[in-house]
Amino acid sequence: MCLSNFPPFNLLLHHLTFFLRGDRRRHLRGAGDMASIAVPDPTPPPALDAENIRKAVQGWGTDEKKLIEILGRRTAAQRAAIAREYARLYNESLLDRLHSELSGDFRSTMMLWTVDPAERDAKLVNKALRRKDDNFALRKTDEHYIWVIVEVACASSPDHLMAVRKAYCSKFSSSLEEDVASCSYKDPIRQFLVGLVSSYRYTDDYVDEGLAKSEATELCNAIRKKQPHHEDVLRIISLRNKSQLKATFKHYKQDFGKAIDEDIESYGSSLFSRVLRAAVLCLGFPEKHFAEVIRYSIQGLGTDEGTLTRAIVSRAEIDMNNIKEVYKIMYNTTLTREVTGDTSGFYKDILLTLIGSEE
């Protein structure tokens, strides 16, 4: 038997390799170049991370900086491994411990970031649906509860949405589409949302250009005739895969002179039009949607921390670098500057860690 097969020695070797090679940070490649978090290379073994987290939460006071340094710089898979190791080593749930040690917006950010992403989105959507069911009058800000549903359905990968639906079923004893169908939004919004959350858009780079051209025309006809809820629109936006839709949106702009989201905005001001526009953006230009969402959360009187946190946590591993670029162009300022100006303390620190460096 070789010594390296012996678990404790194996762990020690990992520790040694880690310290000898140093903590050289690099941008995360695994989740695509557009992810903003900086994962150290080499990454410490999960048991070592769990051990350091334990030190940070034990005793008098909490070392929040350490928690941010570790959890804020690990991928979803790495965070899951850390949580497993933490539970195994200390016989308590990492999430429970974070909940009892931390507070306020910092706590909710750390928890949303540490929990499994599919479970996180299932919870966010459920909260959005319950919020509406609490019979709040549908104020302007309540629209953002619909956006949560649209984002999870349209700005996720098909397999992530599938995982969210499974997580939703096991957490809430009802299916996501069932709860959306019985929520109190009126048709056609409700019907549209059911279609969006039920869809499994295949991932394929093949595009049928002829279809894209003809569906761009169908969309334009409906939108400019002020019938955004026409069944062709619902069918195309609910069912087509993203590559196909991107081609359709490109044809829309080429053939009709205006981007589809701008057209939706100028030809209709109903709640349905705004939901449709959010879906179109999440499917075709998610970075624009999230730049708008973040801007909304920061602008005006007070900050909408829930929205800000959701946008940053859910996109840090997906396309935050894109969002930062678009933000600069759209609002002539950097996301870092905005977040720095509007938040404080450890909450600010974790957000800036997730946003990553601005070039």
Per-residue burial over 224-248, b = 16 or more CB atoms within 10 Å of its CB, e = otherwise: beeebbbeebbebbbebbbbbbbbb
Which region among 97-105, 161-169, 326-334, 351-359 touches its own copies (by CB under 8 A)?
Answer: 161-169
Q: Is 225 left (phi over 0), alpha (psi -120 to 50) or beta?
A: alpha
* Residue 295 binds to its own copies (criterion: CB under 8 A): no
Q: What is the DSSP letter of 45?
A: P
Residues in contact with its own copies, counted by CB under 8 A, come to a total of 29
Provide the mask over 213-252, with x wherever binding to its own copies is found by CB under 8 A and - wherever it is not. Answer: ----------------------x---xxx-----------
Q: Which of 188, 193, 181, 185 minimizes the C-alpha distance to 282?
A: 193
- The radius of gyration of the chain from alpha carbons, rounded to an integer in Å, stands at 22
Cβ nearer to its own copies, comparing 80 with 207: 207
Cβ nearer to its own copies, comparing 176 with 352: 176
* Residue 19 binds to its own copies (criterion: CB under 8 A): no
Contact 347, 312 (CB under 8 A): no
Cβ nearer to its own copies, comparing 201 with 250: 201
Q: Which amino acid is at 215?
A: E
Task: For residue 26, report the phi and psi dihedrals to the nearest 5 degrees.
Answer: -140, 160
Q: Which of 53, 72, 73 minimizes the C-alpha distance to 63?
A: 53
Residues 196-215 that bind its own copies (CB under 8 A): 198-204, 206
Angle at 293 between CA 124 and CA 111, to 5 degrees: 35
Cβ nearer to its own copies, comparing 48 with 194: 194
CB of 178 to its own copies, least distance (A): 4
* Residue 356 binds to its own copies (criterion: CB under 8 A): no
342 belongs to an annotated ligand binding site:
yes
Q: Is 136 left (phi over 0), alpha (psi -120 to 50) or beta?
A: beta
306 belongs to an annotated ligand binding site:
no
Annotated binding residues, as ranges? 59, 61, 101, 298, 302, 342-343
Annotated binding residues for Ca(2+), as ranges? 59, 61, 101, 298, 302, 342-343
Contact footprint for its own copies (CB under 8 A): 158, 162, 165-166, 168-170, 173-178, 181-182, 194-195, 198-204, 206, 235, 239-241
